[in-house]
Amino acid sequence: MAEGLGWWGVPLAIVAGTMRGGTPFLFVSLGECLTEKSGKINLGLEGTLLTGAMTAYGVSYLTGSPWLGILAAGLAGLVLGSIHGWLSQQFRVNDVAVGIAMIIFGSGIAFFFGKPFIQPSAPQLPTLNLAGSNVSPAVEAALQISPLFLLGLAIAPLMKWFFQSTRWGLYVRAVGDSPDAARAMGVSIFKVRMLSIMAGSFLAGIGGASLSLYYPGVWTERISSGQGLMAVALVIFARWNPMICLWASLLFGGAQALGPSLQSVGIKQGYYLFNAAPYVLTLLIMIVTCSPKRTLAGVPGALGMDN
Amino acid sequence: MTTLSSLPSARQLDRPPDLQVNGMTKQFGRLMALDNLSMHLKSGSFHALLGENGAGKSTLVKCIMGFYQPTAGELLLDGNPVQIGNPRDAHRYGIGMVYQHFTSVPAMTVAENLVLSRFGGAGIINWKAEIEALRAFMSTSPFQVPLETPIAQLAAGQKQKLEILKQIYLHSRILILDEPTSVLTPAEADEVLGLLRQQVSAGELSILMISHKFREVMAFADEITVLRKGKFAGSGAVSELTVADMAEMMMGEQKVPTPVQKTSLPNATPVLEARQLGANKDNGIAAFSGIDLTVHSGEIVGIAGISGNGQRELVEVLAGQREAAAGEVWVNGERYTATRAEMYRHQVCALPEEPLRNACVAHMSVAENMALRTFDRPPQAKGILLLLQAIRQMAVGLIGQFSVKTPSPETPVQNLSGGNVQRAVLARELSTEQIKLLIAANPCFGLDFAAVDFIHTQIINARNRGVAVLLVSEDLDELLKLSDRLIVISDGQFTYQSQTTTAEYAAIGHAMAGH
Ligand SMILES: Nc1ncnc2c1ncn2[C@@H]1O[C@H](COP(=O)(O)OP(=O)(O)OP(=O)(O)O)[C@@H](O)[C@H]1O
Ligand SMILES: [Mg+2]
């Protein structure tokens, strides 16, 4: 699509790719952020993402309404979240272990029910046109914006406000930082974590929907390519701050778009290397942010502990 | 039975209700933590709850608060039986508690914690209005704490004041305090308790305080109830009792404190030497720097200071829990980096503060925790195999020797009472015969007087055997009693050094405050 523009196509493609590729990251990382703020880790969001993608695609195909597909994807996430929320809070159960099991479970469900939807094409989400009418078709195509992206943009500041200025937000932070303190205040740790995990999974499910109904807009079994797991790294990078999650998601989305956009202007060398950019970025973040000498600012005090 | 809805909210109670506990029993598994205990907290009185470590004091107040569900027993408020299912119910009856461990959320600000502590209320918080209301509240409250500061940045004393402020903010009429002064300096403790005493005398508040400090009980309390092994062991008016009477009720026998007897040792050699030592806090800011310190064999060097002035980090560096940012440490004339092998070779023992967090694996058993230093050596190991029988046997021995109160050696250490965790760690660290260097931080934090006496005697005995002891403590009396040489640390620097015999109280106070 960027061929007509020559080298200008590269930044344009990256901007477009940032919005497209960043959307699932945005939903999953916001979901993970909410979950981790309550003190539990949900690695299972990788599975939730796949289940969400499959459900959205399937429901959109069967009913003809992509919006119903999105809702169904969120609900499917909610169900997976409630399983994780219940299991990971049982006595002597580790949330990371449950998360890995949930990755396998979620992808298994998606592959099992998704088989019949690989071939047919489902109605896609309509997009909004950002560019005016007098630009070249290449630019116009690049600047198609999904309402899901806008929704994600709105949720990030909303979540920040939620953590700061609502009683429930304070509960979530209290439970994640100091369960003993929360218990002393009569807050039910089980309920708060359960609801946080479920809401987080709901968002991740919608993230899945954006994969299959927006970009790349198909349903295949390899569609998530580890984005759910990268979102966990992204949340650490974002210091558990929803607004930074937003910028970090865009960064990851941009990194993902690097390979394809260079390819579109004919750079073939190192194609696979550029495609690996998000993974390299994840590794780098992990290395840079870990240090035995200081604790991470913003990390919920009880994150990943068995209590 | 009074139902919650028919009850006036805490705000409307104009006088503290009369609280009666009848036949309270609480069982943890086979352990009777509380056995048919009754007590009476009269309206507008200051009542102290005494007892040895593990006597069941915390369990009793947690049952009153609805934090634990008692196995049997009832609560009467102004003569009416009430059911308290959780701390939220307790609050509605006007009962509030300051727990033994802080219950503010470290990552949140003072203002956020105060608003959070208010049960119920609007879902959306109007911060502008809240901050204004909080400012107004602060201006009339007995102590001040900065509203915008995150809890993690408050010193221990300020945190404790905040915990009490929270209850005043919540209009609690019965205030339960679980060892409220263990983290305060004596002056701070007197200030806080004095202000609360005024409110009690004015008839606005009843207080039920757990304490190990007779001095405070004598100065502030009206009445006492004593627990022994979960059972009622006595009660009475403070004005009619002496410290010896109270101690006898607690222990069931008379006990005189062991006098401190120091023997002077010939040819003292330097054991621990720190040169230009420096380390950073968690946030990367320097905790202390340029510290020169020598501890000789047969000498106790005491480090005094208000908490948060670099003591914790100093102990962590010496115990191998933190990397030094600058300088070096020498032990017995060799470079020392506090690895496990070096600690074993030089026989270095460490008793860090907050032992449950810093020196124990909380969910592992008492026996396993006691073996942490020795499990991989004979007689507890043979090759790569652990001899569980030997580990258990050693634990049983230590539990007896140090009188650790635990249901069994297999109990997870986190289920022990605060004082008994301390004993378990002490038992592990002092079990080797030939220790050369002992590093102790607040070793008597939260211990009953018999245990304090026991530990002081152990430390003095170690010194008399030629052990070099570095004793970091916030309790100045303890330091003046035990140490040979006294150093004051303030803001990461040594600001005062003197032999204890010639130390001046006023100069120490000034140095601690950083002048
Ligand atoms: N959650 C629990 N599970 C099992 N046993 C417990 C639990 N909590 C307390 N215990 C046991 O109950 C007994 C009483 O403990 P409690 O904490 O009430 O003592 P305490 O009087 O407050 O002592 P301290 O002065 O050391 O704080 C102890 O033997 C302790 O091991
Ligand atoms: Mg206690």
Which-ligand-closest: CA of B52?
A: 1
Residue B6's pLDDT is 43
Residue A76 lies in a domain: yes
Give me ligand 1 centre to Cα B412, in Å.
Answer: 12
Among the partner residues A167, A173, A297, nearest to B105 by beta-carbon distance = A173
Residue A80's SS3 state is: helix
- Whether A185 sits inside 8 A of B104 (CB atoms) is no
* Residue B497, CB-side half-sphere exposure with 13 Å CA sphere: 8
Residue A303 lies in a domain: no
The whole-number average pLDDT for the span B467-494 is 90
Residue B168's pLDDT is 86
B-chain residues within 8 Å CB-CB of A297? 283
Where does the pLDDT of residue A209 fall: very low under 50, low under 70, confident under 90, or very high at 90 and above? very high
Q: Pull the structure tokens for residue B465.
A: 């055997």
User: B68: which residues sit within 8 A by CB, 6+ positions away?
Assistant: B26, B59, B62
What value does the mean pLDDT of chain B take? Answer: 86
pLDDT tens-place string over residues B143-169: 788 999 888 878 777 888 899 899 888
Closest to A256 in 3D by CA, of A235, A229, A277: A277
The whole-number average pLDDT for the span B106-110 is 90
| Partners of B294 in the β-ladder | B273
d(CA A231, CA A217) in angstroms, rounded, equals 20
B105, B323, B361: which to substitute to probe chain A, counting the most A Cβ within 10 Å? Answer: B105
The whole-number average pLDDT for the span B129-152 is 88
Where does the pLDDT of residue A61 fall: very low under 50, low under 70, confident under 90, or very high at 90 and above? very high
Q: In what order do the strands lie in the sheet with B46-51?
A: B95-98, B174-178, B206-210, B46-51, B223-228, B231-237
Closest to B14 in 3D by CA, of B204, B148, B164, B298: B204
Q: Look at A162 and B252; give whichever has higher pLDDT.
A: A162
Residue A295 lies in a domain: no
pTM of the model: 0.78
B417, B53 contact by CB (below 8 A): yes
- pLDDT at residue A82 greater than cutoff 70: yes
Rg (CA), chain A: 19
Give me ligand 2 centre to Cα A206, in Å.
Answer: 48
Ligand 1 proximal residues by C-beta, below 6 Å: B 28, 31, 33, 51, 53-59, 405, 415-419
Where does the pLDDT of residue B8 fall: very low under 50, low under 70, confident under 90, or very high at 90 and above? very low
Where does the pLDDT of residue B407 fall: very low under 50, low under 70, confident under 90, or very high at 90 and above? confident
The whole-number average pLDDT for the span B282-295 is 87
pLDDT tens-place string over residues B33-77: 999 999 999 999 999 999 988 889 999 999 999 988 999 999 999
The CATH number for A256's domain is 1.10.3470
B402, B423 contact by CB (below 8 A): yes
Residue B14's pLDDT is 75
User: Chain B residue with minimal CA distance to A167?
Assistant: B123
- Whether A185 sits inside 8 A of B117 (CB atoms) is yes
Residue A83 lies in a domain: yes
State the closest ligand 1 atom to the C-alpha of B227, by its place in the atom list counted from 1.
Answer: 21
- Whether B363 sits inside 8 A of A297 (CB atoms) is no
| Angle (deg, nearest 10), helices A147-165 and A242-264 | 160
Q: For residue A250, what are the domain limits?
A: 3-289
Burial (0-12, 13-18, 19+ Cβ within 10 Å), B99: buried
d(CA B466, CA A156) in angstroms, rounded, equals 63
Of the candidate ranges A82-91, A113-122, A297-306, the one whose mean pLDDT is the lowest = A297-306
Greatest mean pLDDT among B75-79, B140-144, B245-249 lies in B75-79
Residue A81 lies in a domain: yes
Which-ligand-closest: CA of B415?
A: 1
Ligand 1 pocket mutation pick from B58, B417, B447 by most atoms within 8 angstroms of CB = B417
User: Chain B residue with minimal CA distance to A307?
Assistant: B363
Give me ligand 1 centre to Cα A37, in Å.
Answer: 31
B-chain residues within 8 Å CB-CB of A168? 123
Where does the pLDDT of residue B458 fall: very low under 50, low under 70, confident under 90, or very high at 90 and above? confident
A-chain residues within 8 Å CB-CB of B123? 166-168
Residue B134's pLDDT is 93
Percentage of chain B with pLDDT > 90?
37
Where does the pLDDT of residue B3 fall: very low under 50, low under 70, confident under 90, or very high at 90 and above? very low
Residue B31's pLDDT is 82
The Cα of A45 is separated from the nearest Cα of chain B by a number of Å equal to 26
Phi, psi of B281, deg, nearest 5: -75, 180
Q: Look at B137 and B260; give whichever has higher pLDDT.
A: B137
Among the partner residues B87, B121, B280, nearest to A185 by beta-carbon distance = B87
Domains of chain B by start residue, with CATH: 4-251 (3.40.50.300), 270-512 (3.40.50.300)
Residues of A with CB under 8 A from a CB of B: 164-168, 170-171, 173-174, 177-178, 180-186, 292-295, 297-298, 300-301, 306
- pLDDT at residue B267 greater than cutoff 80: no
Where does the pLDDT of residue A184 fall: very low under 50, low under 70, confident under 90, or very high at 90 and above? confident
Of the candidate ranges A83-92, B196-205, B250-259, B427-436, the one whose mean pLDDT is the lowest = B250-259
Residue A305 lies in a domain: no
Please state the separation of Cα B446 from the chain's center in Å: 4
Residue A298 lies in a domain: no
The whole-number average pLDDT for the span A146-166 is 94
Phi, psi of B491, deg, nearest 5: 50, 40
Which-ligand-closest: CA of B413?
A: 1
Give me ligand 1 centre to Cα B416, in Å.
Answer: 6
State the closest ligand 1 atom to the C-alpha of B56, by its place in the atom list counted from 1.
Answer: 18
Residue A133's pLDDT is 66
A-chain residues within 8 Å CB-CB of B282? 294-295
Question: Total structural domains in chain A?
Answer: 1
Greatest mean pLDDT among A126-130, A209-213, A249-253, B390-394 lies in A209-213
Residue A40 lies in a domain: yes
CB atoms within 10 A of CB A40: 27
CB atoms within 10 A of CB B97: 24
Ligand 1 pocket mutation pick from B24, B27, B28, B69 by most atoms within 8 angstroms of CB = B28
ipTM over 0.90: no
